[in-house]
Structure 1
Amino acid sequence: MAEEYPINVNVKVYNEGIGNAFRKVAELGQKKEWTKLLETIDGDPQLINSCALVEKNTAHTLNTPLHHAALGSAPKEVFEQLLEMGSAKCLKNLAGETAYDIAAKSQLSQDILKLIEVPKEIKRKEAIIAKLEEGLHKVILGRVENLIKENGQALPQVAYLFEKGEFYYAVPGMYGGFRVTKNGDKGIVSSSWIRVCGGSGQEHEIDNDGNTKLVNEGFV
């Protein structure tokens, strides 16, 4: 089963309880309350790669708990527990920084840097991943650009696929989303559908140069 990509949207898209949960995780990270942060995530594992939702007069930061640990120079044990819970090392914040980038600038210990180093495959394929991401975003916007804008939704980072495996990117209001998988060495495949609309399925292949091709449609 594909892992759900940690989407980030305007707070109004979700109910108050979800918005509060995302906000709490971000606030605990900002306040360096590591024990409470870990306890909160342990109680709701889906928060492990969460970011504060966008509220009035604020913008995306895309700082995950791992980013907050790096920003707050957390002890090594905090990084270890976050990784055990499923923190993604590859995710970048709005400034384009991974937790490793932040930790390196802050001169955290080599032990911590080794723990949170971005997987070698992702670093080796950085240019290709950027092209794949460009193509995937084109496919998503081609289907639901209006909803992405309405939701204030951050588009997915393809590096996540190379660290965590295939993922499902849900789009609130679409009643469906995009399942993203590898296509061998040729690129990636995006399968998308709207659950309440029979025959809405579309499958796109995206090659390593970011070119997109509709290869199948009309499925449920």
Structure 2
Amino acid sequence: MKKFTILLVAILGLTSMQTVQAKQSKSKTHSVAKNPVKKKPVTVIAESRKVDEDIQGDIDALLEVTDIPEENRAIRVEPSDLTNQILSTAFDYKGVRYRYGGMSRSGIDCSGLVATAFEDTSINLPRNSSAMAQVGEKVRKSEAQIGDLIFFKTRGNRISHVGIITEVFDDEIKFIHSSTSKGVIVSSTKENYYSRTFAQINRVMTEVENENESLN
């Protein structure tokens, strides 16, 4: 009986020791999981930090300059770009038929073509040629420039037709316009009809160009 009791105590003691060891092992595992190995911090060289700070300072300065509300930003357009934009719009209508009062690709008249071309650059002109002739600055034929408006008196003694000058030579001016018989075409002052009916040339972009130059 004593031997049996001693054996039982020994077995219980061994089991207790195994349980304690298992708990200790589990505790160590959890401890490792809770305290992972920390990576060594990357050392930043003083010189590199200084360069980064300088760059950031430059960026901040640029942001201060460019952080202007969109509506207050001045759009700087070179005169040549403005003229090219106007002519580009006008030439997009080349071949479109003439239609009195028209302002679309299905039909357009002379003042409609001019008004549409200038409207794309935010320059609003009157809707008829006689009113357009009152806008801007009159210039001599010898002083004509690309982008100027050219007017004709095709109906008696009043201005009734307008075009946009596309090319200027010593003795010839070419212009794009909407002809009643051929639609939107390029014509020349050397043609007898336009030589006879020529009235005046107006420069309507002078004020806009001066504004752009003052901004540059």
TM-score (normalised: structure 2): 0.20
TM-score (normalised: structure 1): 0.20
